[in-house]
Amino acid sequence: MLEQRVSVIGAGAMGEALIRSLLGRDLVSAETLMAADVRRSKLDEIRQRFGIGVTADNREAARFGQVLILAVKPQQIEGVLRQIGPDLTTGHLVISIAAGVRLRFLESHLPEGVPVVRVMPNVACLVGEAASGFSLGRWAGDPEAERARRILGAVGQVFLLPEPLLDAVTGLSGSGPAFLGLVIDALADGGVACGLPRDVAVKLAAQTCLGAARLVLEAGIHPAVLRDMVTSPGGTSAAGLQVLEERALRAALAGAVRAATRRSQELSAGGSEEEPANGRLS
């Protein structure tokens, strides 16, 4: 269990997923967790569902928590930082999941010496299967990295990376669910064309992707080895793979990740309020 009290500022889908996972994994108790949000109805719902403290005052949340998780939209982040800044000390840890908001910006709106961590999660955090990257600010060291890893690990896998690589995380795991949604839909279309009921085809396609991912992650099977495991000479998989290679699926997916990464870089550099990949989760 974490020794520090935690405040989650922003109780939208992402904030609620973190609250649920932190409690469910016994990383915090209800007495050491608080949620802040401007929506009174949402706070009432959170209090009834999880039995934790709630507030509409971000400064109250900052005074309560030693770890502050900022789960608000990028266009709201500056206002939140200005509100909580006067109450923060070097003993706090600020974890931001605001898409595209860089460490330099976060630190410039907080007192000097406050440790900051920037995170790029993805939509699968809603089911505890996120693929997240995080980077450390100037005043965050090994203890803060370990604390962030434990918190973010409650909703999936997490990787410590230099901040410039978070754009690639956005392009791959942030945008990846959209790409895989297209893949699942296309596989299901193929199944329907071959006579399967639509609902069965969708579930078969989704479960097939899930099973393949678990073989890679849990059994440690390399994707190329997985391909060879189910591909016999002249067999069904070989016939299907030939079509995918002829139609350049591999190049298309790799190109999609590169394009999404470039767009993330453009949005971060330009200070756009458009939200890449995970923005609608806040």
Looking at the predicted structure, is the pLDDT value of residue 179 above 80?
Answer: yes
Question: What pLDDT, on the 0 to 100 scale, is given for residue 268?
Answer: 80
Looking at the predicted structure, is the pLDDT value of residue 277 above 80?
Answer: no
The pLDDT tens digits for 136-146 are 999 999 999 99
Question: What pLDDT, on the 0 to 100 scale, is given for residue 272?
Answer: 44
115 is in an annotated binding site: no
- Mean pLDDT for the stretch of residues 100-129: 95
Question: What pLDDT, on the 0 to 100 scale, is given for residue 267?
Answer: 86
234 is in an annotated binding site: no
Question: What pLDDT, on the 0 to 100 scale, is given for residue 69?
Answer: 98
Domain residue ranges of the chain, discontinuous segments joined by +:
6-163, 176-265
The pTM is what?
0.90
9 is in an annotated binding site: yes
The pLDDT tens digits for 191-222 are 999 999 999 999 999 999 999 999 999 999 99
12 is in an annotated binding site: yes
Question: CATH second-level architecture of 6-163?
Answer: 3-Layer(aba) Sandwich (3.40)
pLDDT band at 270 (very low <50, low <70, confident <90, very high): low
8 is in an annotated binding site: no
Backbone angles phi, psi at 238, to 5 degrees: -60, -40
74 is in an annotated binding site: yes
The answer to whether 13 and 71 have CB atoms below 8 angstroms apart is no
10 is in an annotated binding site: yes
Considering the chain, what percentage of its residues have pLDDT values greater than 90?
A: 93
CATH code linked to domain 176-265: 1.10.3730.10
The pLDDT tens digits for 119-137 are 999 999 999 999 999 999 9
71 is in an annotated binding site: yes
